[in-house]
Amino acid sequence: MGLFGVTKDMGIDLGTANTLVYLKGKGIVLREPSVVAVNTKTGEVLAVGDEAKKMIGRTPGHIVAIRPMKDGVIADFDITEKMLKYFISKVCSRSAFTSPRIVVCFPSGVTTVERRAIDEATRRAGARGVELLEEPMAAAIGAGLPVNEAMGNMIVDIGGGTTEVAVISLDGIVTSQSLRIAGDELDKSIISYIKRKYNLMIGERTAENIKVTLGSVFDFERVKDSIVDGHVVHGEDVVDTMEIKGRDLLSGLPKNIEIRREEVREALHEPVMNIIEAIKNTLEKTPPELAADIMEKGITLAGGGAYIKGMAELITHETRMPVNIAENALDCVAIGAGKAIEYASFGKRR
Ligand SMILES: Nc1ncnc2c1ncn2[C@@H]1O[C@H](COP(=O)(O)OP(=O)(O)OP(=O)(O)O)[C@@H](O)[C@H]1O
């Protein structure tokens, strides 16, 4: 117990899109994109996080902006380790007397080898002790669900690389599903839709911007108000078209086109229905008593995907269950990891 005062114990959400660090006693102290810019000639890391993200799609030949995490797991081990080292040193720079103990999250669908890679990269980045925590459990704790009670809690965490669906009761995952379809896949669907329909090539960042600004997965035509980022937005305030820039594949030249909300909904249909299927499958496998609890309390949505317009409404429409968007949906996993420090054994028997 005495050591807690001098160490910087932390919870890390090592995400495909964003990495968040929760420092014990302080809350979230770092939130940056999981991106690293590397000079391929020298192997030197040029920038990490926000700085590196700005470089995506804009680098000269010998500089690449890498996203070392893919589908929720480590795609590039060395770069992940360097990125973690940078983030940890950024939050520990002052007043850290000893290296930190870290609770780090992993998607529930990963293999033992992938788990070991996350553990190893965190140790090599400077952790004294590492404890791995399943992402849906962290998200549920961070969303404030009573995970330790004998009661069905359902969490749907739609991140960048993975969607985690889980039913939790008495501190354990009763049933879960992890699918590698989430925000990134939605971006890819927008890219291929626009390429197919308009012969226009757009970049990843443009696609993400379209998803966030114009993306909608439920037909609000007849519904006046919707929920955006947890706030009610009145029908007339919702933008319905957007001008986008890309490269015309026929002429090879830059070109602008205008796309409509319905088109984005069409583009997102398939991956979104895969997410809905996973939710339905998990509900089907949920024991009846717990399903009754969920029916009463609702499904909790977390992760950046919780903010996709119409997502909550579509899930309710398809499952007949009430849906709540977690407060601080983007931060739930990191907050949950941070809170779990209290209970972590860091490899020792408690
Ligand atoms: N307002 C929004 N509307 C739609 N999508 C959003 C919004 N804000 C963020 N996103 C999307 O959420 C995703 C990132 O979510 P989050 O930070 O929870 O993922 P992550 O933890 O990095 O990924 P993973 O959990 O898969 O490792 C991105 O795909 C981003 O485009």
Taking only the tens place, the pLDDT of each residue in 112-145 is 999 999 999 999 998 999 999 999 999 999 999 9
Domain count of the chain? 3
Please check whether residues 203 and 263 belong to one and the same domain: yes
Please check whether residues 229 and 128 belong to one and the same domain: no
Ligand 1-lining residues (CB < 6 angstroms)? 13, 15-18, 72, 159-162, 182-184, 208, 211-212, 215, 229, 303-305, 307-308, 330, 333
At residue 146, the pLDDT reads: 96
Please check whether residues 197 and 252 belong to one and the same domain: yes
Alpha helices in the chain (DSSP H): 50-53, 77-92, 112-124, 135-142, 183-198, 204-214, 261-284, 288-297, 311-319, 332-340
Atom of ligand 1 nearest to the CA of 162: 26
At residue 45, the pLDDT reads: 93
For ligand 1, mutation pick of 12, 13, 133 (most atoms within 8 Å of CB): 13
Q: Which of 231, 254, 269 is the last residue of a domain?
A: 269
Tell me which residue range forms the domain holding 284: 151-181+273-325
Please check whether residues 28 and 92 belong to one and the same domain: yes
Judge contact between 22 and 334, C-beta under 8 A.
yes
* β-strand partners of 310: none
Please check whether residues 155 and 286 belong to one and the same domain: yes
- Judge whether 43 lies within some domain: no
Instruction: Give the distance between the most distant pair of CA atoms in the chain.
Output: 68
- Judge whether 167 lies within some domain: yes
Judge contact between 17 and 184, C-beta under 8 A.
yes
At residue 240, the pLDDT reads: 87
Q: What is the mean pLDDT of residues 302-319?
A: 96
At residue 5, the pLDDT reads: 44
Please check whether residues 177 and 302 belong to one and the same domain: yes
For the chain, percent of residues with pLDDT exceeding 70 = 90
Q: Whose CA is nearest to atom 7 of ligand 1?
A: 304
- Judge whether 24 lies within some domain: yes
- Judge whether 188 lies within some domain: yes
- Judge whether 281 lies within some domain: yes
Helix (H) or strand (E) holding 133: strand 129-134
The rounded Å distance from CA 209 to ligand 1 centre is: 12
Check whether 224 has a pLDDT greater than 90. no
At residue 56, the pLDDT reads: 77
Please check whether residues 293 and 241 belong to one and the same domain: no
Please check whether residues 116 and 163 belong to one and the same domain: no
CATH code at position 99: 3.30.420.40
Check whether 226 has a pLDDT greater than 70. no
At residue 231, the pLDDT reads: 52
Amino acid at site 224: K
Please check whether residues 254 and 169 belong to one and the same domain: no
Q: What is the mean pLDDT of residues 227-241?
A: 59
At residue 47, the pLDDT reads: 95
Which phi and psi (to 5°) does residue 14 adopt? -85, 85
Check whether 235 has a pLDDT greater than 80. no
Judge contact between 218 and 317, C-beta under 8 A.
yes
**2-7 contacts at long range (C-beta below 8 A, 24 or more positions apart):** 3/98, 6/97, 6/98, 7/96, 7/97, 7/98, 7/99, 7/100, 7/101, 7/128
CATH code at position 236: 3.90.640.10
- Judge whether 170 lies within some domain: yes
Q: What is the mean pLDDT of residues 260-275?
A: 97
Judge contact between 138 and 284, C-beta under 8 A.
no
Q: What is the mean pLDDT of residues 243-250?
A: 96
Please check whether residues 237 and 257 belong to one and the same domain: yes
Tell me the C-alpha distance between 333 and 38, whole Å: 28
- Range with the poorest average pLDDT among 52-61, 186-195, 274-283: 52-61
Better-predicted residue by pLDDT, 225 or 260:
260
- Judge whether 39 lies within some domain: no
- Judge whether 57 lies within some domain: no
**Please, what is the Cα angle at 195 between 194 and 199, to 5 degrees?**
110
Please check whether residues 134 and 163 belong to one and the same domain: no
Q: Which of 249, 269, 289 is the last residue of a domain?
A: 269
Q: What is the mean pLDDT of residues 173-186?
A: 96
Judge if ipTM > 0.90.
yes
Please check whether residues 25 and 135 belong to one and the same domain: yes
Q: What is the mean pLDDT of residues 217-241?
A: 61
pTM of the model: 0.89
Q: Which of 244, 269, 294 is the last residue of a domain?
A: 269
